[in-house]
Homo-oligomer: A and B are copies of this chain.
Amino acid sequence: MSTKEKILDAALTLFSENGYDGTSVEQIANKVGIRAPSLYKHYAGKEEILNALIDSAQAHYEEMFGSEMNIGRVPESGEEFIRAEMGRIAFTIRDPVIRKTRMLLVQEQFRSERIAEVTTMHQLTGIQRMYAKLLEEMMKKGLVGEDDPALLATELTAPAVLLIAKADRQPQSLKEIEESIERHLRHFCAVYMKK
């Protein structure tokens, strides 16, 4: 990993834990193993590091939810759907980079319009576009009753997004939270899926 990448990595960790204003350039440099002034050989300033992290978050999400989005295998049954989603969610909750990116965005969302937009994409538009697509496929297969896929995507994702945010705040209740998410998914299937 290049120093430039190490800096991003350290900054993501520190920003997610203590916020942008709560993190000093020196702390970042320490974590990388260099002195603060050396950091300026790689980035013009502290703000540029934040911008690079937001760029990376945006790129990551555009890749994930972009035009040629990857919905993966369309499930054949409710049980398969639940299993697949719980796997995806367990990963999303635990993956350090995704988790830190979430925490960074939520804390810095009011710092600029740009960050606000990326946060919205992250919490709402992005995921919903993806799940609307998946639900549309499931409707075509006759697994889910015909309905507005975008609306159903909101109903499906919103509780999960909020519970994942809770898990970031209170990781000690992770197990309980995952159970809540599963209960929600089962309820969703019971309501919208044909038997």
Contacts and interface: CB of A to CB of B under 8 A. Distances in A.
A184 B151 contact: yes
B155 A184 contact: yes
A120 B164 CA distance: 11
A17 B116 CA distance: 13
A58 interface: no
Interface residues of A, number: 36
Contacts of A18: 110
Interface in A118-156: 119-120, 123-124, 151, 154-155
B21 A187 contact: no
Contacts of A16: 110
A162 B158 contact: yes
A191 interface: yes
Interface string A80-122: 0000000000000000000000010011011100001101100
A107 B166 CA distance: 14
Q: DSSP majority for the A interface? A: helix
A34 to B, nearest CB: 24
Contact of A120 (B19, B169, B191): B169
7 contacts: A19-B107, A106-B109, A120-B170, A158-B158, A158-B162, A162-B162, A191-B191
Interface of A: 16-19, 21-22, 103, 106-107, 109-111, 116-117, 119-120, 123-124, 151, 154-155, 158-159, 161-163, 165-166, 168-170, 180, 183-184, 187, 191
Given A17-B110, A19-B107, A155-B155, 13 more contacts: A107-B107, A107-B109, A107-B110, A110-B168, A110-B169, A119-B169, A120-B169, A123-B162, A124-B162, A124-B166, A151-B187, A155-B159, A162-B162
Top 9 A-B residue pairs of the complex, sorted by shortest distance between their CB atoms: A21-B21, A158-B158, A158-B159, A116-B169, A21-B22, A158-B162, A154-B159, A120-B166, A109-B169
